[in-house]
Amino acid sequence: MGQAEPATESSWQTPPTPGWPALRGLMPANVRIGSAVDGKLLATDERYRSELAAQFNAVTAENAMKWVNLEPSPGVYDWSESDQVVKFAQANGQAVYGHTLLWHSSVPAWVSESWPRERIRELLRQHITTVVSRYRGKIWAWDVVNEVLAEDGSLRDSLWLRKLGPGYIADAFRWAHEADPDARLFINDYGTEGRGRKANGLLRLVRELRMAGVPVHGVGFQSHLRWDRAPEDATGNLRRFAALGVSVAITELDVRIQLPVDAEKLLDQALLYQHMLKACLAVSTCESVTLWGFTDTSSWISSHYPGFGAACVFDSDIRPKPAHEALVQELTSRRGTPPG
Ligand code: G3I
C-alpha cells in the first residue's frame, strides 16, 4: 500500500491511474460499478483514493453509515466519516449507495430491549428520518433493511421482530420514503443470490410488501462467495425478482479463497466475479454491481474467515488480479451490446 498521506478535498479529484483499464469507463450506461469504502484508507492513503476514483462510479460506506457508528451515544451523531465518503463521491462523480438504516448487527449498545415497544418504534423512526434527511438528494439508493431473513427464509429473530412484530419492515421503508422520496429503497441480504430456501423467502417477502404498497424499489444481493462455489442459477434467480417489478443489484460482491492462494484458485475466482457481472447484465433492471472492497488490504474476510483471504479484484499492493482482468474482458467484449 502507499504511504499514509492526509486527505484534502483538493487531493480527492485525482486523475485515473495509468496502466490498467478503469471498470467505470466500460460499464453499460445504465449499470453502475461500485465499491465499499474503508473510511480509514480513504482518509490516509492516496493510492487507495486514486484507484477508488478511477475504477468506480458508485461507492458504499463499508461501516460509516451503520447506526452503531453514527450514533455512539443517544442523540449524539458522528457524521465525520460518512460525510467524508459522500464528499469524496461528489468530487469524483460517484453515486452513493447508503448502507444501512436497520441491521440487527448494528444496534447501538445503549438501545435496550427492555424499553417499551412504542419507545423502540419511535427511536427507529427517528433514526431513519434523521439519517435519510441529512443525505436527502445525495444518496442514490438506501439499504433500508439488511439481513432480515433467517436461513430458512422466515423472518430473522431480532430485537425489531420481537419488539415491533413483522410490520417494522414496512414501517422502515415508509419512513425512509417520507424522508427522501427520490431515493431508491432496497432490501438487502446474503445467501440469496442463488436459488434456495432463503431466496424463496425473500421473494415472498418482497411480493407481499409490494402488494401492500410498501415503497420497496429494489433487492440487493450481497454475494459474499467462495472461490469454489457458484450460486445456484444466479441469473434465473435475479430474473424472478425483477419479474416482481423491482430493480436488483449485486451489493457486496467478494470471492474469498482458502489460503494459500495459487494460480488456479485465482482463475476460479476470476470466473466467479465474471459470472456475477454477467448475471447482473443479463437482467434489464439490474442497477449495479458493487464490490465489497476492491483491495485485499482492506477486506473484512481475513478477520471473519480464518484461513481465507485474497477476496478482492486488486491485491494488497493495489495491482489488478485476474479477477479484474476478467471483469474488463467481459465488459470490453460487450461494448455496444444492448443490456438485458
Ligand atoms: O475501527 C475499529 C478499530 O478502531 C478497532 O481498533 C477495531 C478492533 O476490533 O475495530 C474496528 O472496527 C471494526 C470495523 O469492521 C472496521 O474494521 C469492527 O470491529 C468490525 O466489527 C467491523 O466489521 C465490519 C462488519 O460488517 C460489521 O459491521 C466489516 O468491516 C464489514 O465489511 C462488514 O460488512 C458487512 C455488511 O455491512 C453487511 N453484510 C455483510 C458484510 C460482511 O460481514
Cα of 234 vs centre of ligand 1, distance in Å, is 27
From the list 51, 62, 252, 287, the catalytic residue is 252
Question: Residue ranges per domain, the chain?
Answer: 28-335
Q: What pLDDT sits at residue 5?
A: 39
Average pLDDT on 184-212 reads 98
pLDDT at residue 203 is higher than 60: yes
- What is the per-residue pLDDT across 127-170, written as a single tens digit (0 to 9) for each? 999 999 999 999 999 999 999 999 999 999 999 999 999 999 99
Pull the grid cell for residue 34: 461500485
Return the residue whose CA atom lies nearest to atom 35 of ligand 1.
Answer: 62
Q: Of ligand 1's atoms, which has the minimum distance to the CA of residue 99? A: 37
Contacts of 116 (CB under 8 A, 6+ apart): none
Quote the radius of gyration of the chain (alpha carbons, Å): 19
Please confirm, yes or no, whether 252 is among the known catalytic residues. yes
DSSP 250-302: EEEEEEEEESSP-HHHHHHHHHHHHHHHHHHHTSTTEEEEEES-SBGGG-SHH
For residues 137 and 144, what is the distance between their CA atoms, to the nearest angstrom? Answer: 16
Q: What is the pLDDT of residue 193?
A: 98
Task: Choose one of 63, 70, 100, 255 to mutate for the ligand 1 pocket test, by most ligand atoms within 8 angstroms of C-beta.
Answer: 63
Atom of ligand 1 nearest to the CA of 36: 32
Of all protein residues, the one whose alpha carbon is nearest to atom 14 of ligand 1 is: 63
Q: 165-190, pLDDT tens digit by residue?
A: 999 999 999 999 999 999 999 999 99
In DSSP terms, 220 is beta-bridged to 188, 249
| Cα-based distances in Å from 8 to 46, 49, 82, 103, 306 | 10, 11, 16, 32, 36
Q: For residue range 36-79, what is the model confidence (pLDDT) as tens digits?
A: 999 999 999 999 999 999 999 999 999 999 999 999 999 999 99
pLDDT at 10: 42
Distance CA 110, CA 96 (A): 28
Measured in Å, residue 158 CA sits from the centre of ligand 1 at 20
Identify whether the C-beta of residue 152 lies closer than 8 Å to the C-beta of residue 189: no
- Strands 58-61 and 32-37, how do they pair? parallel
Kindly report the protein residue whose alpha carbon is nearest to atom 28 of ligand 1: 63
Quote the ligand 1 centre to 32 CA distance (angstroms): 24
Average pLDDT over residues 186-195: 98
In this structure, what C-alpha cell is assigned to residue 106?
Answer: 448494528
The percent helix, strand, coil of the chain (3-state, each to 5) is: 40, 20, 40
Pocket of ligand 1, candidates 59, 60, 62: which has the most ligand atoms within 8 Å of its Cβ, to mutate? 62
What is the pLDDT averaged over residues 84-107? 98
- Annotated catalytic residue: which of 62, 147, 193, 287? 147
Q: What is the CB < 6 Å shell around ligand 1? A: 62-63, 66, 105, 146, 190, 222, 252, 300
User: What's the pTM?
Assistant: 0.94
At 79 the pLDDT is: 98
CATH superfamily to which 28-335 belongs:
Glycosidases (3.20.20.80)
Task: Specify the ligand 1 atom closest to the Cα of 300.
Answer: 32
Q: What is the pLDDT of residues 216-240, one digit of tens each?
A: 999 999 999 999 999 999 999 999 9
| 335 — pLDDT class (breaks 50, 70, 90) | confident
